A and B are shown apart, each in its own frame.
Chain A
Amino acid sequence: MVIQVKNLVKRYGDLVALDHLSFDVAEGEIFGLLGPNGSGKTTAINCILSLLSYDKGSVEIFGKPMRPDAYDIKRDIGVVMQNVAVFDELTVCENIDYFCGLYVPEKARRKKLVEEAISFVGLENFRSFYPKKLSGGLLRRLNIACGTAHRPKLIILDEPTVAVDPQSRNNILEGIQNLNREGATVVYTSHYMEEVEQICSRIVILDKGRVIADGTKEELKDMISLGEKITVETSLVTPEQIAALRVLPGIASAEFNDKTLVVKSEKGKSGLEEVLDFLRKQNIAFGRIYSELPTLNDVFLEITGKELRD
Chain B
Amino acid sequence: MFAHIFTARLKCLLRDRGLVFWTLLFPILLALFFKMGFSNLNTADSFRPIPVAVVNDAQYRRNAPFRQALQSASEGKGRLFTLTVTTKGNADELLKENKIYGYLTAGSPVEVTVRSAGYEQSILKSFADSYLQTYSAASYLIGKNPAAAAGLAESLQSRRDFTESLPSGGGASDNTTLYFYSLVAMACLYGSFWGMKEVVDIQADLSQRAARVNVAPVHKMKVFFSGVTAVFLVNFAEILVLLVFLRFALGIGFGGKTGLVVLTALVGTVTGIFFGSFVGAAVKAGEGAKVGILIGLSMLGSALAGMMYEGIKYVIQQHAPLLGYLNPVNLVADAFYCLYSFSGYGRYALDLTILAGFILFFGAGTYLIIRRQSYASL
Q: Which residues of A come within 8 Å of B, CB atoms?
A: 12, 46, 49-53, 68-69, 71-72, 74-75, 77, 79, 81-87, 89-90, 94, 97-99, 101-103, 105, 146-147
Contact = CB atoms under 8 A, between A and B. Distances in A.
Contacts, number: 86
Q: Is the interface of A mostly helix, strand, loop or mixed?
A: loop
A221 to B, nearest CB: 34
Contacts of B1: 101-102, 105
A85 B207 contact: yes
A94 B7 CA distance: 11
B117 interface: no
Contacts of A53: 374-376
Interface in B74-132: none
B211 A85 contact: yes
Contacts of A97: 8
B376 A146 contact: no
B216 A46 contact: no
Given A87-B12, A94-B11, A99-B216, A105 B4 contact: yes
Interface string B188-227: 0000000000000000100111011111111100000000
A53 B372 CA distance: 11
B218 A51 contact: no
Interface of B: 1, 4-5, 8, 11-13, 15-16, 204, 207-209, 211-219, 373-378
Nearest to B19: A89
A79 B11 contact: no
A52 B212 contact: no
Contacts of B8: 87, 90, 94, 97-98, 101
Contact of B217 (A71, A94, A98): A71
B378 A46 contact: yes
A51 B211 contact: yes
Nearest to A97: B8
Nearest to B16: A89
Given A86-B209, A87-B12, A74 B217 contact: yes
Nearest to A47: B374
Contacts of B5: 98, 101-102
Contacts of B208: 81-85
A94 B10 CA distance: 12
Nearest to A80: B212
15 contacts: A51-B214, A51-B378, A53-B375, A71-B219, A81-B208, A81-B212, A84-B208, A86-B209, A89-B11, A89-B16, A94-B8, A97-B8, A98-B8, A101-B4, A102-B5
Contact of B377 (A12, A75, A77, A86): A12
B215 A89 contact: no
Contact of A69 (B204, B373, B375): B373
Given A68-B373, A68-B374, A51 B12 contact: no
Nearest to A85: B208
> Most B CB atoms within 10 A — which of A74, A84, A147?
A74
Nearest to A95: B8
A241 B146 CA distance: 147
A53 B13 CA distance: 32
A15 to B, nearest CB: 11
Nearest to A50: B374
Contact of A85 (B209, B217, B219): B209
Contact of B212 (A50, A69, A146): A146
A262 to B, nearest CB: 42
A74 B216 CA distance: 6
Contacts of B377: 12, 52
A89 to B, nearest CB: 4
Given A53-B375, A85-B207, A87-B12, A77 B215 contact: yes
